Structure 1
């Protein structure tokens, strides 16, 4: 298995480069702004306020789970889903233009282009971690404690991060050759936002539609995230083990696809 997987070795080999460029990516996003990195907290908090008002006050939606009654409880469940989705969406929306936005790395510099994908994922993970701090504060206000099962979150998110890395590598490679890909992914991500259980739990749907929605891999991550961060329930072992195994294989396939594709990047760009 270890010999079969080549992407962990490449990632570890370029870990210092990845760290420095990810740090530059995160800080550069807010460089020159008045509040700086504080926008990492204010942006999701603002969107949370808007979504919570619209769905819990205008549409009078309720979640109906333990410790989550009322608008604040709705906000906690909504925010947990948004954190997962925003991590995924940031990676997918950026992926098609990752290589195109860095032509100098392709033409003039000997640079491990595969690092661009992991940098994008690393930046998205940082934003997700900042949003988690906001989630913790909301939980302390609403239910006055943090479930011990919160510690399982890295296991729950492992398939998400690996899956985002795999998709990012594939889209980054395809985006060099298919310039319309960024428009396509933007539409698909917008559709996926409402086809994922962000504003509602899977159990709120008619039983006919529940298996269809549950087939959405993002739905599994969102539901498992709520289990460990809000409900105080341990994650599904089959989800964790199967998800990690599947996404590691997906990462290896995507990594090899990217490595083969990058030989033609200079000719196209």
Structure 2
């Protein structure tokens, strides 16, 4: 009786992922290893790529455009770099999950038509792979903080809770976009443009406080802005997270996962016919 009660209150998406956790782990490991297999640097690319992008962005915005980061102006380009990089880590996690989502089912059509396979874990594997690259970049950020500030704020330990709404939101979005991508083949092209626009509307290259007051409420409608600002607070400024963000963000993320999972399960019934 207790087991049945627990099953009823546990979200369906969580039960499905927990049941297939071992398969999801193996596929995630294969995805990460396969990306770097055969290359000279191997996993070193997961460190080198963010470093190169950080160097380019920092040079362009802090040296060419002479941009500075508000209260860190005295820190110069290095202070600009760590704030920029924190925003990029969050945005890249979202970007990698979102841009891959429309092709997840299309690229694995054989799993739809020939094999009984839990298709829902494809989105989980994609998001988990993006999380691996984000964590790798986080190590780079910590090293930069040691150089720029001499210490890593202990509030960095809050980051898993800060990112819970982000990861659950990416998972929900991946389920929706992967299902929709089967029926709308142009979705990938459209999404690439949207993601590029979002990069400049997500407070990645500037603090939200740098905008005129009349524009700040509009940008706050973008969920990525809240995640990026909270990430900078705990990872760089040493500030505790917002309690309202943790409660509301987590609740909305989990609700989005449950709704999108159910929509994915309904949409998958027509996958075989379309493919």
Using the size of structure 2 for normalisation, the TM-score is 0.96
CA contact (8 A) 2:176 2:263 kept: yes
Aligned to 1:238: 244
Cα deviation for residue 66 of structure 1 reads 4.9
Instruction: Say which of 3, 6, 16 aligns to 1:10.
Output: 16
Aligned mates of 1:151, 1:97 — CA distance in 2: 34
Cα deviation for residue 64 of structure 1 reads 2.4
Cα deviation for residue 67 of structure 1 reads 8.5
Matched position secondary structure for 1:102? helix
Aligned mates of 1:154, 1:67 — CA distance in 2: 29
Aligned to 2:164: 158
Aligned to 2:113: 107
Matched position secondary structure for 1:179? coil
Aligned mates of 1:113, 1:37 — CA distance in 2: 28
Aligned mates of 1:55, 1:66 — CA distance in 2: 15
Q: Is residue 190 from structure 1 mapped to residue 196 from structure 2 by the alignment?
A: yes
Cα deviation for residue 69 of structure 1 reads 2.1
Aligned mates of 1:252, 1:67 — CA distance in 2: 43
CA contact (8 A) 1:162 1:247 kept: yes
| Deviations 1:65-114 (CA, angstroms, capped at 9, x unpaired) | 25972000100000000000000000000000000000111111111000
CA contact (8 A) 1:22 1:119 kept: yes
Structure 1 stretches lacking a partner, 5+ long:
none
CA contact (8 A) 2:17 2:121 kept: yes
CA contact (8 A) 2:93 2:130 kept: yes
Q: Which has the higher helix share?
A: 2
CA contact (8 A) 2:70 2:210 kept: no
Aligned mates of 2:216, 2:75 — CA distance in 1: 23
Instruction: Say which of 46, 51, 69 aligns to 1:45.
Output: 51
Aligned mates of 2:176, 2:94 — CA distance in 1: 14
Instruction: Say which of 21, 39, 47 aligns to 1:33.
Output: 39
Aligned to 1:79: 85
Using the size of structure 1 for normalisation, the TM-score is 0.98
Instruction: Say which of 61, 64, 70 aligns to 2:67.
Output: 61
Aligned to 2:230: 224
CA contact (8 A) 1:68 1:74 kept: no
CA contact (8 A) 1:67 1:143 kept: no
Aligned mates of 1:140, 1:119 — CA distance in 2: 32
**Pair 1:67–1:200, CA change in 2 (3 A):** closer
Structure 2 stretches lacking a partner, 5+ long:
1-5
Matched position secondary structure for 1:60? coil
CA contact (8 A) 1:163 1:251 kept: yes
CA RMSD of aligned residues (A): 1.2
Aligned to 1:117: 123
Greater Cα shift, 214-223 or 67-76: 67-76
Matched position secondary structure for 1:61? coil
Instruction: Could you list the structure 1 runs, at least 4 aligned residues long, displaced by more than 6 angstroms after superposition.
Output: none
Cα deviation for residue 3 of structure 1 reads 2.4
| Deviations 1:206-265 (CA, angstroms, capped at 9, x unpaired) | 111111112210000000000000000001010011001011011000000111111110
